Amino acid sequence: MNRRKFIENSALAGSGLAIIGAASCTTKSSTENKINIQSIMDDVEFIDSEDRKKRIEKAALLMQQNSIDAVFIESGTSLDYFTGIKWWPSERLTGVLIFSDGTLQYIGPAFEKERLEEMITIKGDVASWEEHENPFELVAKLFKAKSSATATLGMEENVRFFQSNGISFYLPQATITNAKPVTAGCRMIKSPKELALMKKANEITLEAYRIGFSQLKEGMSQYDLSSIVAEASTALGATEAGWAGAMFGAYTAFPHGSKTAQQLREGDLVLIDGGCKLGGYQADITRTTIFGQPTQRQQDVWNIVKEAQTAVFEQAKAGVPCELLDATARAVVNKHGLGNGYENFFHRVGHGIGMDFHEWEYLVKGNSTPMQPGMCFSNEPGIYIYGEFGVRLEDCFYITENGYEAFTPQSPSIESPI
């Protein structure tokens, strides 16, 4: 039994894991032998140190406005966003203190100091700790030396509990607060360069889907389709192939897929959701199509989802509260008798997106945050009927001064998804 068959048949293989496994064992030439894939990376401009210096300047200003003396950021996308350092999160603390005057203090393990220094492009001091030493005490000491024992330290939201708790222990007189006004305050509003990277990432993803759909054949597994899309994304120029989850037939009613191995059959709906990354920025697209000819019910449900997505776009503009877009999509589904609360439309209509798949803000009931120019969101209504099928359509967009701009065109039809 080869590795792919083992993954497909394993009851323990979750959809995400199975996709990764299948992609890793697909022969390199499987897609390239069938289609001549050319990179579409013309005129791409990546984020550089000058961009990050401007981000730090904005963060310092936001700290001053919110009475925060410094922000602590550990390994993750915010560390990359502000410093360009890509560091795998482990049990050893590696991070940065950004102070309200714009200065930086890096912290990392002593045995990794040379590697950390090699990655630094934004000037700042580097402090290291030996294996027997306490990194939390070191962070607290550096913070107090620059600010004071009673100053205010902002924690980036994704700092893991063991680190935030450890640092807080050594700052008993300090005020520890959520750094969201600073981190989200910078990251929510995308620059023209960020928007260009996201647009290109979405274009690559959509073209990879087109290639994947062109390879549909009876008997193929959902993992085969996911592997083709991931391979095509890389060939087209993606810096990270990302995630591509495929579902067939009745399993399209599972919004994020099923662990059950599936084989494509005539008349099945095919749903694929995911996106590649380009220069650290994430795409996110969902398309639903038919393998063969759609039934009237499949066509009707697909049309309702398209109507809901279109209605959301019509409401997308600066000043509109995030929750209105969710209510708009839900009203369309309800009008056609397929919704009651979250029945059949299980999830919010969208989420913020940028360096992470899901970022601030969320298009969901109860979020009255007004949309602002530069904010990016997904628009992804769906209808899911367990035992039959599901339909979701997703395109990402950003708010402009005059409305919105979508990164990709809406799906034309159930039979021609791209």
Q: What is the pLDDT along the chain (418 residues), one digit of tens a residue?
A: 333 333 333 332 333 323 333 333 333 434 444 567 878 877 789 999 999 999 999 999 999 999 999 999 999 999 999 999 999 999 999 999 999 999 999 999 999 999 999 999 999 999 999 999 999 999 999 999 999 999 999 999 999 999 999 999 999 999 999 999 999 999 999 999 999 999 999 999 999 999 999 999 999 999 999 999 999 999 999 999 888 999 999 999 999 999 999 999 999 999 999 999 999 999 999 999 999 999 999 999 999 999 999 999 999 999 999 999 999 999 999 999 998 889 999 999 999 999 999 999 999 999 999 999 999 999 999 999 999 999 999 999 999 999 999 999 999 999 999 9
Query: Is 173 in the same domain as 315?
Result: no
415 within a domain of the structure (yes/no): no
Query: Is 216 in the same domain as 335?
Result: yes
pLDDT at 343: 94
Tally of structural domains, the chain? 2
Query: Is 156 in the same domain as 178?
Result: yes
| CB of 410 closer than 8 Å to CB of 380 | no
Last residue of a domain, one of 132, 152, 187: 187
358 within a domain of the structure (yes/no): yes
Query: Is 146 in the same domain as 200?
Result: no
Query: Is 220 in the same domain as 358?
Result: yes
41 within a domain of the structure (yes/no): no
pLDDT at 37: 80
Query: Is 364 in the same domain as 237?
Result: yes
d(CA 124, CA 95): 12
In DSSP terms, 124 is beta-bridged to none
Query: Is 212 in the same domain as 360?
Result: yes
CATH number at residue 342: 3.90.230.10
pLDDT at 6: 30
pLDDT at 379: 98
Angle in degrees, CA 32, 33, 35, rounded to 5 = 60
401 within a domain of the structure (yes/no): yes
Query: What residues make up the domain containing 322?
Result: 3-33+190-406
332 within a domain of the structure (yes/no): yes
Q: Which helix (H) or strand (E) holds 331?
A: helix 322-335
Query: Is 202 in the same domain as 350?
Result: yes
Query: Is 183 in the same domain as 194?
Result: no
Average pLDDT score over the chain: 92
127 within a domain of the structure (yes/no): yes
* Torsion angle (degrees, nearest 10) of CA 407, 370, 84, 240: -30
| Full-model pTM | 0.90
> Tokens 């005490």 map to which residue?
137
102 within a domain of the structure (yes/no): yes
d(CA 374, CA 188): 7
Last residue of a domain, one of 168, 187, 206: 187
Instruction: Tell the burial category of 320 from Cβ atoms under 10 Å away from its Cβ (0-12, 13-18, 19+).
Output: middle
Query: Is 181 in the same domain as 197?
Result: no
d(CA 346, CA 169): 41
Q: For strand 382-385 and strand 395-400, is the pairing parallel, antiparallel, or unpaired?
A: unpaired
Helix axes 192-214, 222-236, angle to 10 degrees: 130
The amino acid at residue 60 is A
pLDDT at 405: 98
183 within a domain of the structure (yes/no): yes
Last residue of a domain, one of 138, 156, 187: 187
pLDDT at 34: 53
CATH number at residue 66: 3.40.350.10
Query: Is 256 in the same domain as 143?
Result: no
Burial 186-196 (b: 16+ CB within 10 A, else e): bbbbbeebbbb
Query: Is 201 in the same domain as 181?
Result: no
Tens of pLDDT, residue by residue over 112-123, are: 999 999 999 999
**Would the CA dihedral through 49, 54, 58, 64 be positive or negative?**
positive
Beta strands in 140-268 (DSSP E): 152-155, 175-178, 240-248
Q: For strand 104-109 and strand 125-129, is the pairing parallel, antiparallel, or unpaired?
A: parallel
d(CA 375, CA 360): 9
